[in-house]
Protein backbone atom coordinates (compact mmCIF):
# COMPACT_ATOMS: atom_id res chain seq x y z
CA UNK A 1 0.00 0.00 0.00
CA UNK A 2 1.23 3.45 -0.81
CA UNK A 3 0.65 6.66 1.11
CA UNK A 4 -2.18 9.19 0.63
CA UNK A 5 -1.40 12.78 -0.34
CA UNK A 6 -4.14 15.40 -0.56
CA UNK A 7 -4.09 17.22 -3.90
CA UNK A 8 -3.03 20.49 -2.22
CA UNK A 9 -0.12 18.94 -0.28
CA UNK A 10 3.42 19.64 -1.49
CA UNK A 11 5.61 16.54 -1.04
CA UNK A 12 9.16 16.59 -2.37
CA UNK A 13 10.10 13.78 -4.72
CA UNK A 14 13.22 13.46 -2.53
CA UNK A 15 11.18 12.57 0.58
CA UNK A 16 10.51 9.00 1.72
CA UNK A 17 6.96 8.38 2.93
CA UNK A 18 5.88 5.09 4.53
CA UNK A 19 2.97 2.94 3.52
CA UNK A 20 -0.44 3.93 4.86
CA UNK A 21 0.63 7.45 5.84
CA UNK A 22 -1.89 10.24 5.15
CA UNK A 23 -0.77 13.79 4.33
CA UNK A 24 -3.60 16.31 4.37
CA UNK A 25 -4.43 19.76 2.93
CA UNK A 26 -1.64 22.25 2.32
CA UNK A 27 1.01 20.23 4.17
CA UNK A 28 4.57 20.68 2.92
CA UNK A 29 7.15 17.90 3.15
CA UNK A 30 10.68 18.95 2.14
CA UNK A 31 13.57 17.05 0.57
CA UNK A 32 15.41 14.39 2.56
CA UNK A 33 12.49 13.83 4.96
CA UNK A 34 11.78 10.28 6.11
CA UNK A 35 8.30 9.57 7.46
CA UNK A 36 7.36 6.09 8.63
CA UNK A 37 4.27 3.99 7.98
CA UNK A 38 0.72 4.69 9.18
CA UNK A 39 1.27 8.33 10.16
CA UNK A 40 -1.26 11.15 9.92
CA UNK A 41 -0.09 14.68 9.09
CA UNK A 42 -2.86 17.27 9.40
CA UNK A 43 -3.69 20.39 7.48
CA UNK A 44 -0.89 22.93 6.98
CA UNK A 45 1.85 20.83 8.61
CA UNK A 46 5.39 21.88 7.65
CA UNK A 47 8.18 19.27 7.76
CA UNK A 48 11.57 20.82 7.00
CA UNK A 49 14.43 19.13 5.16
CA UNK A 50 16.01 15.96 6.57
CA UNK A 51 13.56 15.56 9.48
CA UNK A 52 12.97 11.97 10.66
CA UNK A 53 9.52 10.81 11.80
CA UNK A 54 8.82 7.25 12.92
CA UNK A 55 5.81 5.00 12.41
CA UNK A 56 2.27 5.56 13.72
CA UNK A 57 2.73 9.23 14.56
CA UNK A 58 -0.09 11.81 14.59
CA UNK A 59 0.95 15.35 13.78
CA UNK A 60 -2.00 17.71 14.05
CA UNK A 61 -2.85 20.86 12.05
CA UNK A 62 -0.40 23.76 11.75
CA UNK A 63 2.63 22.03 13.30
CA UNK A 64 6.12 23.21 12.24
CA UNK A 65 8.96 20.68 12.45
CA UNK A 66 12.26 22.29 11.44
CA UNK A 67 15.42 20.44 10.39
CA UNK A 68 17.40 18.83 13.17
CA UNK A 69 14.33 17.09 14.65
CA UNK A 70 13.92 13.33 15.07
CA UNK A 71 10.55 11.98 16.18
CA UNK A 72 10.37 8.30 17.14
CA UNK A 73 7.40 5.92 16.71
CA UNK A 74 3.97 6.49 18.23
CA UNK A 75 4.32 10.21 18.95
CA UNK A 76 1.33 12.57 19.18
CA UNK A 77 1.98 16.24 18.35
CA UNK A 78 -0.94 18.57 19.07
CA UNK A 79 -2.05 21.47 16.88
CA UNK A 80 0.17 24.53 16.49
CA UNK A 81 3.27 22.95 18.09
CA UNK A 82 6.58 24.45 16.95
CA UNK A 83 9.94 22.67 17.08
CA UNK A 84 12.67 25.33 16.85
CA UNK A 85 16.28 24.65 15.89
CA UNK A 86 18.54 27.66 16.51
CA UNK A 87 19.32 28.98 20.00
CA UNK A 88 20.36 32.40 18.67
CA UNK A 89 18.38 33.11 15.50
CA UNK A 90 19.07 36.29 13.58
CA UNK A 91 18.00 37.44 10.10
CA UNK A 92 21.25 39.37 9.61
CA UNK A 93 24.89 38.96 10.63
CA UNK A 94 26.96 41.49 12.61
CA UNK A 95 27.61 43.50 9.41
CA UNK A 96 23.92 43.76 8.56
CA UNK A 97 24.07 41.21 5.74
CA UNK A 98 21.22 38.75 5.32
CA UNK A 99 22.23 35.39 6.80
CA UNK A 100 22.26 32.34 4.53
CA UNK A 101 21.37 28.73 5.34
CA UNK A 102 25.07 28.07 6.07
CA UNK A 103 25.02 30.67 8.87
CA UNK A 104 22.51 28.78 11.04
CA UNK A 105 23.76 26.88 14.08
CA UNK A 106 21.25 24.03 14.29
CA UNK A 107 20.76 22.22 17.61
CA UNK A 108 18.97 18.89 17.34
CA UNK A 109 15.76 17.84 19.08
CA UNK A 110 14.96 14.21 19.90
CA UNK A 111 11.41 13.07 20.71
CA UNK A 112 11.17 9.56 22.19
CA UNK A 113 8.78 6.69 21.64
CA UNK A 114 5.16 7.29 22.66
CA UNK A 115 5.57 10.96 23.66
CA UNK A 116 2.52 13.27 23.62
CA UNK A 117 2.97 17.02 23.09
CA UNK A 118 0.01 19.31 23.82
CA UNK A 119 -1.33 22.03 21.54
CA UNK A 120 0.54 25.33 21.20
CA UNK A 121 3.73 24.04 22.83
CA UNK A 122 7.16 25.23 21.74
CA UNK A 123 10.15 22.88 21.89
CA UNK A 124 13.45 24.77 22.04
CA UNK A 125 16.67 23.61 20.35
CA UNK A 126 18.93 20.97 21.89
CA UNK A 127 16.16 19.28 23.88
CA UNK A 128 15.64 15.54 24.30
CA UNK A 129 12.22 14.22 25.37
CA UNK A 130 12.19 10.69 26.84
CA UNK A 131 9.72 7.95 26.00
CA UNK A 132 6.07 8.33 27.04
CA UNK A 133 6.68 11.82 28.43
CA UNK A 134 3.65 14.12 28.43
CA UNK A 135 4.05 17.80 27.54
CA UNK A 136 1.06 19.91 28.63
CA UNK A 137 -0.65 22.31 26.23
CA UNK A 138 0.99 25.70 25.86
CA UNK A 139 4.30 24.62 27.35
CA UNK A 140 7.71 26.01 26.47
CA UNK A 141 10.19 23.14 26.76
CA UNK A 142 13.63 24.62 27.48
CA UNK A 143 15.50 21.54 28.79
CA UNK A 144 15.46 17.76 28.56
CA UNK A 145 12.38 15.87 29.77
CA UNK A 146 12.90 12.42 31.30
CA UNK A 147 10.82 9.40 30.27
CA UNK A 148 7.30 9.28 31.78
CA UNK A 149 7.57 12.81 33.16
CA UNK A 150 4.57 15.12 32.87
CA UNK A 151 5.71 18.69 32.32
CA UNK A 152 3.88 21.92 31.66
CA UNK A 153 4.30 25.67 31.97
CA UNK A 154 6.67 28.37 30.75
CA UNK A 155 9.28 27.21 31.23
CA UNK A 156 7.99 23.63 31.42
CA UNK A 157 8.61 21.97 34.80
CA UNK A 158 7.94 18.47 36.08
CA UNK A 159 4.54 18.17 37.77
CA UNK A 160 4.12 14.40 37.80
CA UNK A 161 4.82 10.95 36.47
CA UNK A 162 2.51 9.30 33.92
CA UNK A 163 2.04 5.76 32.66
CA UNK A 164 2.10 4.61 29.03
CA UNK A 165 -1.54 5.65 28.64
CA UNK A 166 -0.73 9.18 29.84
CA UNK A 167 -2.56 8.80 33.14
CA UNK A 168 -1.08 10.50 36.18
CA UNK A 169 0.42 7.93 38.57
CA UNK A 170 2.29 10.31 40.87
CA UNK A 171 1.97 14.04 41.43
CA UNK A 172 5.31 15.72 42.17
CA UNK A 173 4.36 19.27 43.11
pLDDT for the residue numbered 100: 86
Q: For the chain, how big is the Rg over CA atoms in Å?
A: 16
Asked whether residue 106 carries a pLDDT value surpassing 90, the answer given is: no
61-70, 93-102, 124-133: segment of lowest average pLDDT: 93-102
Q: Identify the weakest region by mean pLDDT among 27-31, 52-56, 158-162, 168-172.
A: 168-172
Q: All domains of the chain, ordered by start, with CATH?
A: 1-8+19-71 (2.160.10.10), 117-173 (2.160.10.10)
Q: In the structure, what pLDDT confidence band is assigned to residue 89 with cuts at 50, 70 and 90?
A: confident
Task: Answer whether residue 1 shows pLDDT above 70.
Answer: no
Query: Would you place residue 104 in the very low, low, confident or very high pLDDT band (cuts 50, 70, 90)?
Result: confident
List CB contacts of 102: < 8 A, sequence separation 6 or more: none
Amino acid sequence: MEYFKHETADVSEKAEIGSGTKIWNYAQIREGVKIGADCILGKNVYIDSNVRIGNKCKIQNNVSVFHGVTIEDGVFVGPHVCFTNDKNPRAIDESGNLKSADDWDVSEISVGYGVAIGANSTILPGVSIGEFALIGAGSVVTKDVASYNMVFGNPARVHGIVDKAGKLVKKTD
